[in-house]
């Protein structure tokens, strides 16, 4: 996996290097660490803990030439558990974007994202592909409007490897708007709305009297997401800086399948500090409040592809740069159930992780 990731980054650098007067830049980051996870299967019960080794490789390449702007990013890695080998995981994310800046403040471009996770026991692994066509327009000083149309394909691998009676793979169109605002004193904000249709190959379910039965109709979902994110960059002492980010988002899944409709409210705060003595501190906290019209959410009971993003959590990362791009990293996370949920008989969930490792950053 490390060789594959390094090969991708080196290939991108080699492709961009002969670009004459173009501006080329980016970075490569490698992180290795030993981690302890108190709930490796992410289940309410039974809880199984284990030690694991984690490797992360991150590569970014930017090429700017006149009105053309290209960005490519690779993020990958793997987890190897000491005893729970069925939870071993390899993860890959490839993202690319291109936009052309035209006259009178408009841009046109495209984005492409590919994500793939491979689990030793196909329990939560998946493959995701999303492509966007983007049109942006400046609305005056400090205002930028972006609209996009996209296609999304989600392949939930347990659908092919297990017979759970429920299938979650789907595909469909997506469209949305983003309004970016930039104020004074390092303050910026993004207001967004997105709507998407999800077509499933599986049949819709009827949930009555605590029983699930299949209907003759294919499952169809409408997913709405809207929210706001505000960032404030603050200069503290000398050259040190701080970043404060607050965000709120509401997601609504309207499904014709029983036990699949839901509404999520998420509040998130991120604080990043560059401290003296080459120390850096990052703190992220998330609160989630949920409601389910059917009184139960089948998907949440069976899988969460991005479980760490869908729970109440506090994540802390402390870094100490000891030599050039080499840093010692301490990373900890605490995850719990929603503080408020309308789901019936919601089981208690708890998970903690702690990782100590080394990180090396090489800008170019």
pLDDT level of residue 35 (50, 70, 90 thresholds):
very high
Report the mean per-residue pLDDT for the chain.
Answer: 87
Domains annotated for the chain, with CATH where assigned, are 2-363 (2.40.160)
Distance CA 251, CA 292 (A): 12
Distance CA 260, CA 198 (A): 12
> Taking residues 258-264, what's their average pLDDT?
89
185-221: b or e for each residue (b if 16 or more CB lie within 10 Å)? eeeebbebebebebebebbbbebeeeeeeeeeeebbb
- Is the pLDDT at 237 greater than 80? The verdict is no
- Is the pLDDT at 240 greater than 50? The verdict is yes
Q: In this prediction, what percent of the chain has a pLDDT beyond 70?
A: 86
pLDDT level of residue 207 (50, 70, 90 thresholds):
confident
Q: Which residue has the higher pLDDT, 109 or 16?
A: 109
> Taking residues 184-192, what's their average pLDDT?
90
151 φ, ψ (degrees, to nearest 5): -125, 140
pLDDT number for residue 44: 81
Which one-letter DSSP state was computed for residue 208?
E
pLDDT tens profile 315-345: 999 999 999 999 999 999 999 876 655 555 5
């Amino acid at each position: 996996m490390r060789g594959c990731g390094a090969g991708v980054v080196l290939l991108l650098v080699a492709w961009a290097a002969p670009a004459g007067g173009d501006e080329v830049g980016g970075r490569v980051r490698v992180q290795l660490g030993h981690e302890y996870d108190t709930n490796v299967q992410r289940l309410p019960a039974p809880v199984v803990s284990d030690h694991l080794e984690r490797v992360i490789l991150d590569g970014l390449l930017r090429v700017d030439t006149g009105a053309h702007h290209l960005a490519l990013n690779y993020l990958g890695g793997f987890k190897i558990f000491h005893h729970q080998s069925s939870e071993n995981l390899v993860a890959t994310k490839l993202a690319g974007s291109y936009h052309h800046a035209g006259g009178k403040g408009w841009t046109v471009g495209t984005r492409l994202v590919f994500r793939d996770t491979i689990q030793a026991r196909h329990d939560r692994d998946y493959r995701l592909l999303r492509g966007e066509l983007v049109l942006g327009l400046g609305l005056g000083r400090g205002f930028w409007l972006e609209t996009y149309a996209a296609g999304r394909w989600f392949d939930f691998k347990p659908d092919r490897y297990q017979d759970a009676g429920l299938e979650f793979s789907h595909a469909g169109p997506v469209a949305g708007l983003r309004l970016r605002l930039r104020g004074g004193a390092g303050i910026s904000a993004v207001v967004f709305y997105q709507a998407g249709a999800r077509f499933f190959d599986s049949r819709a379910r009827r949930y009555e009297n605590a029983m699930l039965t299949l209907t003759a109709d294919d499952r169809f979902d409408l997913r709405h997401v809207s929210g706001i994110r505000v960032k404030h960059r603050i200069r503290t002492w000398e050259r040190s800086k701080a970043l404060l980010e607050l965000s709120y988002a509401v997601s609504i899944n309207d499904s014709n399948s029983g036990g699949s409709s839901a509404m999520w409210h998420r509040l998130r705060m991120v604080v990043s500090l560059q401290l003296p003595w080459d120390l850096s501190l990052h703190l992220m906290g998330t609160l989630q409040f949920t409601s389910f019209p059917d009184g139960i959410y089948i998907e949440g009971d069976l899988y969460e592809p991005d479980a760490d993003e869908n729970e109440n959590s506090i994540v802390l990362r402390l870094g100490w740069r000891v030599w050039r791009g080499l840093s010692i990293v301490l990373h900890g996370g605490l995850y719990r159930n929603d503080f408020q949920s309308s789901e019936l008989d919601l089981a208690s969930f708890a998970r903690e992780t702690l990782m100590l490792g080394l990180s090396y950053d090489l800008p170019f």
